[in-house]
Structure 1
Amino acid sequence: MLSFANDLNLKGQFLIATPKVTSDIFAQSVIYMFEHNANGAVGIVINKPSKVPFVELLGDLSEIDCPEEEILRNIDNTLVFAGGPVNRDKGYVLHSAERFYRATITHENIAFTSSRDVLIDYAKGNGPKHILLALGCASWDAGQLESEIMANFWLTAPANEAIMFTAPVVEKHRRAISSLGIEPSSLLWSAGNA
C-alpha cells in the first residue's frame, strides 16, 4: 500500500474521479487537494454546484458597506459548490492569490481560506479576481486515499487555475483528464463502487 511516507503528497493537486467512482457526490468529480499529510487528506470538490445561492451566504446585505445593487451585480452568476460530504454547513473558499485573509493557506497561485472576509470583499468588488466557494469538504483517513488511488478510483494531476476558476462546470472533469494527455472517452465508464 502507498503511504505518505513513500513521498506521495497531493497537496495542491487535482484528484480526478475515474469510472470506478459511482457515488453521487464523487462521480466524475474533480477535487482540489489543500491538505495531505501522514494523518490523511482534505480537498474540495470543484465541479458539483449546489442549489444554495451565493447571496444567502452573505447574510444581511445592509451590513455590507456597499450598495445592494452593486453587491448583486458583483456576485451575479457566482455559484456555490457542494465541496464534499464532511462539514456541509461550513464554507471553504479557493481563490486566486492576489489577496490574503485570516488563516489563508497558499500553494503556488491558489489560496484557500475559511474566512468570511473574502466573501465580503468579493461582494464589494474588492476581492480576488477568481473565487470558488464550497460548502463542505472531502476527507480521507491516513492511508485511505493512497489505497483508493492504488485501486484506480482516482487519477492525479497538477492543479490548473483555468480548470478550477474559469472552465465551464460541465467541462472541468473532461479538461482535468485531458490535462494528463488522456482522451476521456478512452476510459471505460462501467459500474463500480467507491
Structure 2
Amino acid sequence: MTESVSLTGRLLVATPAMTDPNFDRAVVLLLDHDAEGSLGVVLNRPTPVEVGAVLEPWADFAGEPPVIFQGGPVGLDSALALAVVPGEQGEGEVLGWRRVHGAIGLVDLEAPPEVLVGELGALRVFAGYAGWAPGQLEDELLEGAWFVVDSEPGDVSVTAPERLWRAVLRRQRGELALVATYADDPTLN
C-alpha cells in the first residue's frame, strides 16, 4: 500500500474540464489534506459583502478588496480567516494565529484583533469552505479536474482575485502555462 502525500498548503487550480459551477476557474488553497479528507478555501471568489458589515472589529485588517470571499459551497454560515505572518516555521508563533503552511495561517476570529496588530499581513475572510470526503479529491485529480501547484504567500491576499486563475497558471513552467490562455468560452473561437 502506498502512502499518499499531503497536499496541505498547495493550490488546486480548476482545469478547463472542471464541470462543477462552484469551481469554474477556481483556485483553492488546501488547508488540510489527509486520510480523513480535504479542506480548503477558494481564493478568487469575492462577494459584495464588506468585512466590516459582518466582522466589524476585523475591518481595519482586511486586505484589498476588503470584502468577504466565498470560500466554497460548504458551511456558508461560518467564517474563517487567513493571513500571512513573515518568518520561518519554528520561530515564535503569533497568539491568535495558527500556521497552516509556510507563512500562511488561520486567524482566530474569536481573539481580539488588537492581539495581532503589527503581526499580520493582509487578512482575508472567507464564508464557507470547500471540502472533500476521504478519497474524493484523489478521484477528482485522476479525472483531470484539478492541477496541483505550489502556493505563494501572496496568493492569499491578491488584490485582483479575478485574475488569480490565469496568474497562477502563467507562473507555471512548460505546457501548463499555456492553459492560462484558454478562452473563457471556447465555443466563441
1:115, distance to aligned residue in structure 2 (A): 2.6
Query: Matches of 2:60 and 2:38 in 1, distance apart?
Result: 36
Structure 2 residue aligned with 1:151: 143
Q: Deviations over 1:117-154 (max 9, x none)?
A: 37x349x9656122111000000000100010111000
Query: Matches of 1:80 and 1:153 in 2, distance apart?
Result: 26
Q: 2:124 aligns with which of 128, 132, 136?
A: 132
Count residues in correspondence: 176
Which blocks of at least 5 consecutive residues in structure 1 are unaligned?
A: 65-70
Which blocks of at least 5 consecutive residues in structure 2 are unaligned?
A: 87-92
Asked whether the equivalents of residues 101 and 115 of structure 1 are also in contact (C-alpha less than 8 Å), the reply is no
Residue 147 of structure 1 aligns to a residue whose secondary structure is helix
Q: Deviations over 1:143-182 (max 9, x none)?
A: 1000101110000111112233135112110111122221
Structure 1 residue aligned with 2:21: 24
Aligned residue runs from structure 1 range 173-184, under 5 A: 173-181=165-173, 182-183=177-178, 184=180
Residue 157 of structure 1 aligns to a residue whose secondary structure is strand
Distance 1:121 1:57, change over 3 A: farther
1:189, distance to aligned residue in structure 2 (A): 6.5
Structure 1 residue aligned with 2:90: none
Q: 2:102 aligns with which of 105, 108, 113?
A: 108
Query: Matches of 2:171 and 2:149 in 1, distance apart?
Result: 7
Distance 1:6 1:186, change over 3 A: farther
Aligned residue runs from structure 1 range 23-172, under 5 A: 23-59=20-56, 75=62, 77-98=65-86, 100-102=94-96, 104-117=98-111, 120-121=113-114, 126=118, 128-172=120-164
Asked whether the equivalents of residues 9 and 30 of structure 2 are also in contact (C-alpha less than 8 Å), the reply is yes
Cα RMSD between the aligned structures?
A: 2.9
Q: Deviations over 1:28-64 (max 9, x none)?
A: 00001010000100000010012222111225xxxx6
Corresponding letter in the other structure for 1:185: T
Query: Matches of 2:123 and 2:97 in 1, distance apart?
Result: 16
Structure 2 residue aligned with 1:7: 4
**TM-score in terms of structure 2 length:** 0.79
| Larger proportion of strand | 2
**Which is further off, 163-172 or 141-150?**
163-172
Between 1 and 2, higher relative CO (CA 8 Å, sep ≥ 6) is seen in 1
Distance 1:186 1:23, change over 3 A: closer
